[in-house]
Chains A and B, each alone.
Chain A
Amino acid sequence: MKIKINGKTLELNEGASIENVILSRNINRETVVVELNEKIIKKMDWKAIYLKENDAMEIIAFVGGG
């Protein structure tokens, strides 16, 4: 299925949860925040939310800034 992550369209297997996406890309789960379709998804809900065709996910982290 096609979904958008951080603005990029990607192919994902059906049945992938947010947790799957984070783990499969070796992303540090302690430091990122996830938004799905413009809604913040709490970490404890990542395992239970499965992505659907055309979903838009944002994976956000802290960086240096003034």
Chain B
Amino acid sequence: MQGELIIAGQTIISRFFLGTGKFKSKQELEETIKRSGTQVVTVALRRIDLEQNEDNILSYIPKNIILMTNTSGARNAKEAVRIARIARESGYGSWIKIEVINDSKYLLPDNRETIKAVEILAGEGFTVLPYMLPDLYAARELVKAGAAAVMPLGSLIGSNQGLKTKSLIEILIEEIKEVPIIVDAGIGRPSHAAQAMEMGADAVLVNTAVATASDPALMAQAFAKAVDAGRMAYLSKTGDISHVARASSPLSGFLNET
């Protein structure tokens, strides 16, 4: 998609989305959000700790930030739907990242259950952004079911492996034009984010690589710049790749010509 990034009628300027998990402190999270310029962050829902009164994470996230509640913990569509409805009841529920995972080793999303969850929740008026294993047929089903974007994984959550699914994501970018494609999971370095944007992704979502950096706010700024750089490169159309050299300086008027 050229031009602006628009999701559920909202124009998003920063194509760098941030996950809020794993930060060492809420203050660090707040600083990171501010310095990165991110406009969309993900949060999760959990049972409160009855013994301790935890600081409310929402008070560390500026009011103008779009909150996207993930359905982490959901092992099937029914559980994802329950979590989304709880998010809605809290008053922050319109954007939902559908995350349906029932393996703890690879944390791979269940595309089939994800499609079911999208059908139900899109039907209830939620803005749904499903996290998925890049598969063209599943992506088409997600769009048909009412997804506001499609979020294919780059590699395993938290692995920092980068774009292991690069060629599959390229297919989605080429074939899915109705909604934005947001690469989510496994992006470990700003260069991975730049690569995703150069390929034509509409945005990226990063959590671990920022939250576990020794200077998260600085790393988030790096990611934001990388996303901008990749986007600009995509818009100015990167050159083709040649298997032989193609001279950069003129091929005539050499000083040693006879």
- Taking Cβ atoms with an 8 Å cutoff, the residues of A that contact B are 5-8, 25-28, 30-33, 35, 38, 40, 42, 58-66
Contacts and interface: CB of A to CB of B under 8 A. Distances in A.
Interface string B166-177: 000000000000
B207 A66 contact: yes
Interface in B41-55: 42-48, 50, 53-54
B20 A40 contact: no
B75 to A, nearest CB: 16
B1 interface: no
A65 B48 contact: no
A3 to B, nearest CB: 13
Interface of B: 19-23, 26, 29, 42-48, 50, 53-54, 56-58, 69-70, 72, 82, 85-86, 89-90, 92, 157-158, 185, 205, 207-208
Identify the 10 closest CB pairs spanning chains A and B, nearest first: A65-B44, A66-B19, A66-B207, A64-B20, A6-B47, A64-B21, A66-B21, A65-B21, A31-B56, A61-B48
Consensus secondary structure, chain B interface: mixed
B50 A33 contact: no
Contacts of B23: 64
A42 B22 CA distance: 30
Contacts of A28: 53, 56
A24 to B, nearest CB: 11
B86 A60 contact: yes
Contacts, number: 89
A34 B70 CA distance: 18
B19 to A, nearest CB: 3
B21 A27 contact: no
Contacts of A61: 45-46, 48, 54, 56
A1 to B, nearest CB: 17
A64 B53 contact: no
Contacts of A35: 86
A2 to B, nearest CB: 15
Contact of B89 (A26, A30, A42): A42
Contacts of A27: 48, 53
Given A40-B89, A61-B56, A62-B90, A6 B48 contact: yes
Contacts of B29: 64
B72 A65 contact: yes
A6 to B, nearest CB: 4
